[in-house]
């Protein structure tokens, strides 16, 4: 049995497989999800269920948060009725959600005010790497906190890196997701262009995947395009949120505005809960 008791809130597409890997590694995990039924899979894998966020924060040594966005993170880290509302001195809080650098810095201050410590640790990689424990963790914070978290990170990731102070991890995450959005948009536009010109989609995807521009992501998304089926691994609404955060960080490069507008239109089109590759479905319209 590993020594640090782990608390975890946010049992969505990413949180649940990550918790299962920690349980597999022998950690005790206490879990809490706003929609309580979604705790079931983690409980069946050996987690216990916390009464509320206050208990989760006070009962555990290291507490992870994996929720949608800035608003959800701020709500969860509330000192009134959230994770930080009890006695949390000496606890380490780790936000693995994707949020803005400013939100990360705000949460860091709240943790310090409660004599706890904080690491931001957004992850690169989707559901499959979360299941396989092969995520890439982009941390920002104090070295001592990072070293405390490292043995836990080893069960979630193939690589973790401490980039600097709180804010640097969030910035790196927004940057890598910009590249991901460019790739997915580029793949969708390319297949659309080819099929409009009479080329079969399967042939075009084969050419892409066997050539130098083929990548893990183009291969992963190929079945979705061919089957016109986009179950969310990484929901399009979350990518839209990440592009909005990047724009708020003054990303003004030539493709950033049309890319942002494309995901915004797809989200408004009702595709937010589909996988981000549903940008293809949006373009086809
Ligand atoms: P998801 O499946 O949509 O799950 C979102 C989680 O956030 C759920 O547990 C949800 O609780 C919780 N939540 C949302 N608003 C909340 C609030 N106001 N208070 C409390 N809980 C709240 O999302 P996901 O795909 O796991 O992604 C989680 C985070 O990881 C996001 O920041 C995303 O950008 C990032 N990320 C995702 C991927 C990916 O491929 N999916 C990859 C890397 C990073 P309920 O069940 O009650 O709704």
Residue 30, C-beta contacts closer than 8 angstroms, at least 6 positions apart: 5, 6, 7, 8, 47, 48, 49, 50, 56, 59, 60
Q: Which atom of ligand 1 is nearest to the CA of 126?
A: 40
**Ligand 1, pocket-test mutation among 8, 9, 10, most atoms within 8 A of CB:** 10
The predicted pLDDT at position 285 comes to 85
Residue among 48, 55, 53, 45 at smallest CA distance from 25: 45
Active site residues: 173
Is 50 within 8 Å of 7 (Cβ atoms)?
yes
Domain ranges of the chain: 5-165, 171-284
136 lines ligand 1 (CB under 6 A): no
Give one DSSP letter per residue of 51-117, joined into a string.
SSHHHHHHH-SEEEE--SSHHHHHHHT-TTTSGGGS--TT-EEEE-S---HHHHHHHHHHHHHTT-E
Chain centroid offset of residue 82 CA: 21
The predicted pLDDT at position 1 comes to 55
Q: Would you call 175 exposed, middle or buried from its count of C-beta atoms within 10 A (0-12, 13-18, 19+)?
A: middle
Tokens at 231, concatenated: 């179950």
- Side-chain half-sphere exposure of 47, counting CA atoms within 13 A: 29
Residues 125-144 as b or e (16 or more Cβ within 10 Å = b): bbbebbeebebbbbbbbbee
Dihedral of CA atoms 14, 235, 75, 261 in degrees, nearest 10, equals: 150
The predicted pLDDT at position 3 comes to 81
Query: Ligand 1 centroid vs 67 CA: distance in angstroms?
Result: 4
Q: What is the mean pLDDT of each run of 10 residues along the chain (285 residues)?
A: 88 98 98 98 98 98 98 98 98 98 98 98 96 98 98 98 98 98 98 98 98 97 98 97 98 98 98 98 93
Tokens at 227, concatenated: 């089957």
Query: Ligand 1 centroid vs 73 CA: distance in angstroms?
Result: 10
Return the CATH fold of 5-165.
Rossmann fold (3.40.50)
Query: Ligand 1 centroid vs 217 CA: distance in angstroms?
Result: 21
The predicted pLDDT at position 50 comes to 98
Query: Ligand 1 centroid vs 68 CA: distance in angstroms?
Result: 3
Domain 171-284 architecture = Orthogonal Bundle (1.10)
184 lines ligand 1 (CB under 6 A): no
95 lines ligand 1 (CB under 6 A): no
CA distances from 76 to 96, 111, 227, 241 (A): 13, 12, 38, 18
């Amino acid at each position: 049995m590993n020594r640090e008791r782990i608390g975890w809130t946010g049992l969505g597409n990413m949180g649940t497989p990550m918790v299962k890997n920690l349980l597999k590694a022998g950690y005790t995990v206490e879990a809490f999800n706003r929609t309580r039924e979604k705790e079931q899979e983690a409980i069946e894998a050996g987690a216990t269920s916390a009464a509320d966020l206050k208990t989760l924060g006070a009962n555990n040594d290291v507490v992870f948060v994996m929720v949608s966005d800035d608003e959800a993170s701020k709500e969860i880290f509330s000192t009134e009725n959230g994770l930080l509302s009890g006695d949390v001195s000496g606890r380490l809080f780790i936000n693995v959600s994707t949020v803005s650098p400013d939100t990360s810095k705000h949460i860091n201050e709240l943790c310090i005010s409660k004599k706890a410590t904080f690491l931001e640790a957004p992850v690169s990689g989707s559901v499959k790497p979360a299941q396989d424990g092969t995520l890439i963790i982009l941390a920002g914070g104090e070295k001592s906190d990072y070293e405390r978290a490292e043995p836990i990170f080893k069960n979630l990731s193939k690589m973790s890196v401490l980039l600097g102070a709180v804010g640097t991890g969030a910035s790196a995450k927004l940057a890598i997701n910009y590249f991901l959005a460019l790739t997915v948009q580029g793949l969708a536009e390319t297949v659309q262009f080819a099929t409009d010109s009479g080329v079969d989609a399967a042939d075009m995807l084969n050419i892409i995947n066997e050539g130098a521009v083929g990548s893990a992501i183009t291969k992963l998304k190929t079945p979705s395009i061919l089957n016109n089926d986009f179950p969310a691994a990484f929901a399009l609404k979350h990518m839209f949120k990440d592009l909005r955060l990047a724009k708020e960080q003054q990303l003004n490069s030539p493709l950033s505005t049309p890319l942002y507008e494309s995901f915004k239109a797809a989200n408004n089109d009702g595709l937010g809960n589909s996988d981000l590759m549903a940008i293809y479905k949006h373009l086809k319209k």
